[in-house]
Amino acid sequence: MNQKKKFALAGGGYCLYAPRFPRFADRPGFADEASIGNALLPSVFFLSLVEGKRELRLHWRSSVEEGGRLLSTFDDGAGIKLVERRFVTQDDRFVSEIELTNGSKVDRELTIVLWTTTDPEGEPVSLEGDSFRIRRALKTGDGVEVPADIHYSNPDSKGARCLQGFFAEGGSDLPDFEETPWFELEGMPTPRAKRPMEKPSPIVAGSRVYCGLFRPIPLKVGAKAEHRLEANVVFKGKGVNFRARRPDPKDENGWHTFWEKVPRFACDNKELERVVRHRFELLHLLRQPHGAGLFTSPAVCEGNGPFHQPSSFSTPSIMREARWLQDPTLARGCLKAFFDNILHNGQVPGRLYMAGTNANDFYHADWGGGFESLDAIHPDKATKKAVLMAMQRYVKWLANNRDPEGSGLTDIVNHFEAGQEFSRRYMVIDGKADRAIEFTEQFRLKGIDASVFRYRMVKWLHKVAEEIQEKAMANRFAAEAEVILDTIRKKMWDEKAGLFMDLDPDNRRKTNVKAAVGFYPLATDIPNPKQVDRMLETLHDRNEFWTRFPVPSIAVSDTTYDATGKWKGTRKGCPWNGRVWPVVNSHILEGLTHWAERGHKKAQKLATELLHKTIEMLSGKAEGSDLANSLEHYNPDTGVGSRYRGVDHYLGAFVLDNVFRIACGFAIRYGEVQDDPIGDAIDFKLQGMPLGNKVFDVERKNGRLRVQPH
């Protein structure tokens, strides 16, 4: 399977079919990995076409995506053609619609079999006459369990029969009917009555349960037959009881409903077009509704695979992407979902799960920057009032737990919670920092990124409190912001290195580690003009950060720098010792824009160059592809992304903001679209851009910007 051409299916529910390493994309059914909530299922179901006692070997001919559905064509080389439309619905149904055509010269007696395997633990498989049901608390690694109830059926017509279930030892995970217990039996055995399977005693470790359903499909010469097979996922367990409303049959996967609310972007730069389209596609694939368990508001998952749950590390960036949708519900929901579930002590959970949170799980995040950006396009006092008190509790938690001495700087206590593990930032404090395996306190480091995030949040909450007439609260936030700004500017600046640095709280000395997060203050009023000049010199230094594809997460001159992601000789999944992370680029681009708007010529030049290089990576151009991508991190020398991770749908950066502000040259300020190029702005059309409760068409033609109602 070409790793550059992988398909992803979702309907805006809690399920996603975006396997990291697809092995069976050329087989019908959902034979590869699927996400059920935050749990990973090795496969959903297999489809086999049987004639007599022989499984027909179907040859894959083509696959194409149409309206969020995967249309695949197969044949057996002897006249049988199978066309499959595969999709995931808004109410979490994995659907395979098949059309069989007999192009041979004889009548054929075929049987379609939907089958799967599961473990023998938990509630036994229920055999229900013409369907079967698997109830399990699904769990992956240390994640919270997902109470899933999956009903497999052929719902469009009568005639399907449930197969007798079997316990079996051994076998592989291949979608081959010959491996099933039914293959060696005469005919297709069915259970005597509707009932749960009886478990054998004892259950041998490593055994599996085979379950399925079948239906005969006689096909005369030239005849066609159409059938629908599906696995319907509902969630029912402790604290969770959710069954989604059945969607409109004309738009079962929510494709048309979603794209009707998406602005349409066009320009002569096809790389930019691809990236913008892809960012909206990610929102379509990774969005989740409200209603199940802790999901009190709609939210967006961080990515596919192990990242298929909302994460506080990425959610502020996702809010900035989602704010460009005409419907603000998703962007606001991302914010509210986390602060609705704030822990009793004021800590924001690191991830949101359907059935619980983990108190040890925490990320420092740019909540202030995300909230302020959202409010610029979709201002709403109700949202501010809904989250202000919870955000105030979070600010107090940061002060009490991550700044107990009241320094104004914010502590990082393990190499996970800044989302930047495997970096020398932490090793200079604790030589065993990279051995941590969970989110527990291991050291104390005054982090520049964490301190900037806290500053931006406190400063924004000051404005919010003033707007909704919370004067006492506003005064407290203003005083705290002043202390943080002054301390970062004086204590964390390193003139020799030319950027801001982390501090060792024990000796109050800078760590002398040049990390890319040291440029984060550029997006604020923290640095003075002289510091900005020095920072841009460091950023543009080819021996430090200005690689062929900038910006590496740590300076090239660092002793641990490695462009290929190796840390101590082992390639890591999430290395922060030299790889290029789009989220870092987004923050740096925002900072360059901040000073470019103020007339800084070098900031204007670097912003344009950095965006160009970032788009080269994200558009696929750097690796000679015409397919946009959204990988976690990239090689600073080649621009090739981390395909070895299999995580192809990762939302961690606010790329749309960067594109519209820098490439298109317009800004959203004071409730209006302002023409403010910081470089050579391109000609473009953006139709259906939201602003407040209105929608506009924004166009630049021959250098002139025009804004008119949509």
Q: pTM above the 0.85 mark?
A: yes
690: in domain: no
Q: Domain check: are 515 and 395 in the same one? A: yes
53 pLDDT tier (thresholds 50, 70, 90): confident
Is 4 contained in some domain? no
Higher pLDDT, 440 or 301: 301
Whole-angstrom distance, CA of residue 543 vs CA of residue 275: 29
Beta strands 132-138 and 126-127, pairing class = antiparallel
Q: Are 652 and 302 in contact (CB under 8 A)?
A: yes
Q: Is residue 317 part of a domain?
A: no
Q: Residue 347 domain-assigned?
A: no
What is the domain-level CATH number for residue 244? 2.70.98
Q: Which pLDDT value is given to residue 464?
A: 96
- 599 lies in some domain: yes
Domain hosting residue 113, numbered range = 9-249
Pair 384, 239 in one domain: no
Asked whether residue 349 is assigned to any structural domain, the reply reads no
Residue 311 has pLDDT above 80, yes or no: yes
Residues 233 and 370 in one domain: no
**374 and 232 both lie in a single domain:** no
Give the model confidence (pLDDT) of 131-183 as tens digits.
Answer: 999 999 999 988 899 999 999 999 988 899 999 999 998 888 899 999 999 99
CA angle at 37 for the pair 32 and 40, rounded to the nearest 5°: 35
- 380 and 509, same domain (yes or no): yes
Domain count, the chain: 2
Q: How many residues does the chain have?
A: 710
What mean pLDDT is reported for the chain? 95
Same domain? 90 vs 235: yes
Tell how strand 493-494 and strand 509-510 pair up: unpaired
Same domain, yes or no, for 371 and 231?
no
User: Do residues 384 and 235 share a domain?
Assistant: no
- pLDDT at residue number 395: 97
Of 223, 249, 275, which one is at a domain's C-terminal end? 249
Do 245 and 366 belong to one domain? no
Residue 290 lies in a domain: no
The CATH number linked to 543 is 1.50.10.10
514 and 643 belong to one structural domain: yes
Q: Are residues 541 and 666 in the same domain?
A: yes
Using the 3D structure, point to which of 215, 249, 283 is the last residue of a domain.
249
In sequence order, what E strands does 89-139 have? 93-102, 108-118, 126-127, 132-138
Q: Which of 201, 229, 249 is the last residue of a domain?
A: 249
Q: Are residues 71 and 200 in the same domain?
A: yes
Predicted local distance difference test score (pLDDT) of residue 121: 84
Is residue 188 a part of any domain in this protein? yes
Residues 173 and 133: beta-carbon distance below 8 Å:
no
pLDDT at 263: 98
At which residue do the structure tokens 């700087």 appear? 409
**DSSP H stretches of helix in 350-497:** 367-377, 381-402, 424-427, 448-467, 471-491
Both tokens assigned to 648: 């192809």
What pLDDT score does 1 carry? Answer: 42
Asked whether the predicted pLDDT for residue 270 surpasses 90, the reply is yes
Model confidence pLDDT, tens digit, residues 397-406? 999 999 999 9
